[in-house]
């Protein structure tokens, strides 16, 4: 589907890996002590096609916390739990142009702008159905398991670190509670959010998750459905307009693919019906996006003509 032989795809990725290794810019996220411990030299690129072919180079098996990339998948679960109209009444779908951690709600509706920034993600997490914190966490973890195709765990050290330093997220959550936009106990909602950010994945896992979205919600490695097909459109639309925070517009212009980044240094991008892309490289630019990750995705999009509005 990439119009190349598998060997040609693999050698392109290896060349790209070598050239992007030279990029030394960016800074590892350190606002959460546990994140600051990551080795900045780790670097992996993985492509998984919608029919399950895998191409990988570098540190694609190294485990790290998923961080904001979780927001896409939790949005999918909230949609399954409540439907489109209800979720839209609680969380908007407008890009903010502000940083991912901005404490801001829409003036008129009191909704957070979109599910891809922290305020919106906390609201989305508060929509996950379940009888009590344990059941909600289990439903969330099982959802991630369907996307990766194997067991996953929460990194307790990161979760505790997030919770101990999460006052900014707490401020957003309390603001939403003030406007009666969150149903259950706010600390429980935050706890689930901190846990979802601390789910451990590899670059290869992320590529399989992205490929599952490319494959209309069915994991191409296991054949299991991870999310209702009808909601993939919702998830990809919001990724396209909001997934790269306040770089979303330039990303759409240059790369032209729905994508999501996280402060772990991961980025996923989806080519509908074709391909999932994942890159892992911890040093971030000023907006919280992986420096090498942005460059790698741009190069892959160019090389294979993947921009959604390329004419070919
Ligand atoms: N755990 C992070 C936070 O809410 C997630 C942020 C991110 O990846 N952009 O602070």
Residues 74 and 179 in one domain: yes
Q: Give the pLDDT confidence score for residue 184 in this predicted structure.
A: 78
Query: Where is the domain boundary, 161, 181, 197?
Result: 197
Residues 76 and 180 in one domain: yes
Q: Give per-residue pLDDT as tens, 89-105.
A: 999 999 988 888 999 99
Query: pTM of the prediction?
Result: 0.97
Residues 13 and 81 in one domain: no
Instruction: Identify the residue with better confidence: 241 or 245.
Output: 241
Residues 58 and 76 in one domain: no
Instruction: Give the DSSP H/E element, type plus range, for residue 46.
Output: strand 44-49
Residues having CB within 6 Å of any atom of ligand 1? 67-68, 100, 118, 162, 169, 197, 262-263, 288
CA 66 to chain centre: 7
27 is catalytic: no
Q: Is the residue at 1 inside a domain?
A: no
Residues 203 and 61 in one domain: yes
Closest CA to 220 of 85, 88, 47, 68: 47
245 is catalytic: yes
Residues 169 and 207 in one domain: no
Q: Is the residue at 55 inside a domain?
A: yes
Which residue has the CA at smallest separation from atom 6 of ligand 1? 68
Q: Quick one: average pLDDT of 56-74? A: 98
86 is catalytic: no
Number of structural domains (the chain) is: 2
- Does residue 257 come out as left (phi exceeding 0), alpha (psi in the -120 to 50 range) or beta? beta
Q: Is the residue at 310 inside a domain?
A: no
Query: Where is the domain boundary, 197, 224, 259?
Result: 197
Helix (H, G, I), strand (E, B) or coil at 69: helix
Q: Quick one: average pLDDT of 256-279? A: 98
Dist. CA 91 → ligand 1 center (Å):
18
Between CA 261 and CA 72 the distance in angstroms is 10
Q: So what's the ipTM on this one?
A: 0.94
Q: Give the pLDDT confidence score for residue 97 in this predicted structure.
A: 84
Q: Taking all residues of the chain, what is their mean pLDDT, rounded to a whole number? A: 96
Q: Is the residue at 47 inside a domain?
A: yes
Range of the domain at 112: 69-197
| Residue labelled with tokens 């350190």 | 30
- Tell me the helices (H) and strands (E) count for the chain, helix number first: 12, 7
Q: Which of 100, 160, 191 is the pocket-test mutation for ligand 1 (most atoms within 8 Å of CB)?
A: 100
Where does the pLDDT of residue 1 fall: very low under 50, low under 70, confident under 90, or very high at 90 and above? low
Ligand 1 atom with the smallest distance to the CA of 118 is 4
Residues 234 and 148 in one domain: no
* CA angle (177 as vertex; 174, 181 as ends), nearest 5: 135
Catalytic residue among 193, 227, 255, 261: 193
User: What CATH number is given to the structural domain containing 234?
Assistant: 3.40.710.10
Residues 234 and 294 in one domain: yes
Please give the torsion angle defined by the CA atoms of residues 245, 251, 256 and 261, in that order, rounded to the nearest 10 degrees.
Answer: -50
Which residue has the CA at smallest separation from atom 2 of ligand 1? 67
Residues 82 and 157 in one domain: yes
Catalytic residue among 245, 261, 281, 294: 245
Q: Give per-residue pLDDT as tens, 32-47.
A: 999 999 999 999 999 9
Q: Give per-residue pLDDT as tens, 99-144.
A: 889 999 998 999 999 999 999 999 999 999 999 999 999 999 999 9
């Amino acid at each position: 589907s990439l119009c190349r032989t598998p060997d040609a795809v693999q050698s392109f990725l290896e060349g790209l890996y070598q050239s992007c290794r030279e990029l030394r810019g960016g800074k590892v996220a350190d606002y959460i002590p546990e994140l600051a411990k990551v080795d900045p030299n780790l670097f992996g690129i993985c492509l998984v096609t919608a029919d399950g072919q895998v191409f990988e180079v570098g540190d694609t098996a190294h485990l790290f916390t998923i961080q904001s990339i979780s927001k896409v998948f939790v949005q999918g679960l909230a949609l399954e739990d409540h439907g489109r109209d209800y979720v839209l009444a609680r969380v908007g779908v407008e890009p903010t142009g502000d940083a991912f951690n901005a404490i801001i709600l829409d003036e008129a509706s009191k909704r957070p702008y979109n599910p891809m920034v922290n305020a919106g993600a906390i609201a989305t997490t508060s929509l996950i159905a379940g009888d009590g914190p344990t059941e909600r966490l289990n439903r969330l973890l099982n959802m991630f398991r369907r996307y990766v195709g194997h067991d996953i765990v929460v990194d307790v050290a990161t979760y505790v670190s997030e919770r101990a330093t999460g006052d900014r997220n707490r401020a957003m959550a309390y603001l939403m509670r003030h406007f009666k936009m969150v149903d259950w106990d706010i600390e429980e909602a935050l706890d689930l959010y901190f846990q979802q950010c601390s789910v451990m994945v590899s670059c290869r896992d992320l590529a399989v998750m992205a490929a599952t979205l490319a494959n209309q919600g069915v994991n191409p490695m296991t054949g299991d459905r991870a999310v209702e097909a009808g909601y993939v459109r919702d998830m990809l639309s919001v990724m396209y307009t909001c997934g790269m925070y306040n770089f979303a517009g330039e990303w759409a212009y240059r790369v032209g693919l729905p994508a999501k980044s996280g402060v772990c240094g991961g980025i996923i991008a989806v080519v509908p019906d074709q391909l999932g892309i994942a890159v892992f490289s911890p040093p971030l630019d000023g907006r919280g996006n992986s420096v090498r990750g942005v460059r790698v995705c741009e190069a892959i999009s160019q090389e294979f003509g993947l921009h959604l509005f390329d004419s070919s």
